[in-house]
Amino acid sequence: MKLTTTHIAVLLFIAATVMGCRGQKSEKPPVMPQQNMAFQERFNAQQENPFFEDNRSMRMPVEGTISRGNMRDNPTVYEGVDDEGEYVDEIPMEVTKSFLYRGKERYDIFCQACHGGTGDGQGIIMEGQYGYVPAPTFHRGASYDMPEGELYSAIANGIRSMPSYGSQIPVEDRWAIVAYIRALQQSQNASEEDMGRFDVDLADLQAEYEAEQARQEALAEEAGEEEDVEDISVDRGEALYTQYACNTCHSVDGTQLVGPTFEGLYGSERTFTDGSTAEADEEYLYESIVAPGERVTEGYDNVMQAYDYLSEDEIQSLIEFIKAQSDN
């Protein structure tokens, strides 16, 4: 077949295309035949603009501008505070059965992993391998005393190590979650008189509970027989210090975090929020792990949850690790 000029041109084009796909990196900018608005004359946020006298490119809205769609002039609903900026102690929406069920659905999606299905702080993150700061239980005095607006604010804005869920949970759903948290608190503290108002056989519930407790104790006893108790040691305490994310609140080098540093803690004199003092001995360290709210060190908030679910050898290992941070 005789090659024509057209054939030669096509072959050259194919050869050039293949050579251009050899995998070599080019330092030249990519070719953009259709640029649309990829390149335009504009000012970025915070960039200087000499056109205006104040040299600011970001301008205030024209006087008299009216917000459309995002006007949030009710701080109680959107921020959980009153006109004085104090947290409100009532949910500013009608709490109905459907509202509570909506709160349960949203809670199970966003909150259960950390705070647990019953709000006891025993979510999946408590398994230890995730490295998260353990979430507090809602069944404690500090949580009971929180105004509804403070719970709402924690969801909307985050608090301490908890991130904000404002971009994921709409306003009404935040209040629904607050309502469900209150329902969880009441459900865990219902009296026999309250239960008697419903069609519930308390005797059957008690028997079922006792049977489950006996089953759990039997499993624990069986596991104890099969496994040797681990040694109490500084090394194990250090591993637990990392496993339970103690390092996010308590440093070992003197750095002040959410909680007191472990450096020099053992044997030091502690001053508490009620004005009393005590030596940080083993008894104090033990209490600080299993019941941290009993004596809160001055200058810190009562935000640590109780680690009373740890085994005795785990607690003692943590104490040994803390003591080791005071050895010179």
The answer to whether residue 152 scores a pLDDT higher than 60 is: yes
Which three-class secondary structure state does DSSP give residue 72?
Answer: coil
Provide the whole-model pTM: 0.55
Task: Give me 268's structure tokens.
Answer: 């030091």
Select 75-187's CATH number: 1.10.760.10, 1.25.40.20, 2.40.110.10, 1.20.1300.10.
1.10.760.10
What is the reported pLDDT for 181? 94
Task: Give me 67's structure tokens.
Answer: 């917000």
What is the reported pLDDT for 1? 54
Read off the pLDDT band of 130 (50, 70, 90).
low
Distances (CA, A) of 237 to 18, 131, 288, 313, 321: 62, 15, 15, 9, 5
| Residue 93 CB contacts under 8 Å (≥ 6 apart), including other chains | 77, 99, 172, 175
What is the reported pLDDT for 179? 95
The answer to whether residue 149 scores a pLDDT higher than 60 is: yes
Domains 75-187 and 234-324 share a fold: yes
- pLDDT tens-digit series, residues 92-121: 999 999 999 999 999 999 999 888 888 888
Report how far residue 302's alpha carbon sits from residue 287's, in angstroms, rounded to the nearest whole number.
14
Which three-class secondary structure state does DSSP give residue 47?
Answer: coil
What is the reported pLDDT for 306? 78
Task: Give me 241's structure tokens.
Answer: 């210090």
What is the reported pLDDT for 131? 63
The answer to whether residue 19 scores a pLDDT higher than 80 is: no
- pLDDT tens-digit series, residues 37-80: 777 788 888 889 999 999 998 888 888 887 776 677 788 888 99
| Residue 304 CB contacts under 8 Å (≥ 6 apart), including other chains | 136, 249, 259, 292, 293
Query: Which alpha helices (DSSP H) does 26-170 contain, by range?
Result: 75-79, 97-110, 112-115, 141-145, 148-157
Q: How are beta strands 269-271 and 277-279 bridged, if at all? A: antiparallel
Read off the pLDDT band of 225 (50, 70, 90).
low
289 burial type by CB count under 10 A (0-12 exposed, 13-18 middle, 19+ buried): buried
Q: Which residues pair with 159 in a beta bridge?
A: 162
What is the reported pLDDT for 67? 74
What is the reported pLDDT for 21? 59
What's the mean pLDDT in 207-234?
Answer: 73
Do residues 240 and 321 touch, judged by C-beta distance below 8 A?
yes
What is the reported pLDDT for 328? 56
Read off the pLDDT band of 230 (50, 70, 90).
low
User: In the CATH scheme, what is the code of domain 234-324?
Assistant: 1.10.760.10
- pLDDT tens-digit series, residues 282-322: 898 999 888 888 888 888 887 777 777 788 888 898 989 89
Residue entry with tokens 């009296």 = 191
Which 8-state DSSP code applies to residue 138? S
- Domain spans of the chain? 75-187, 234-324
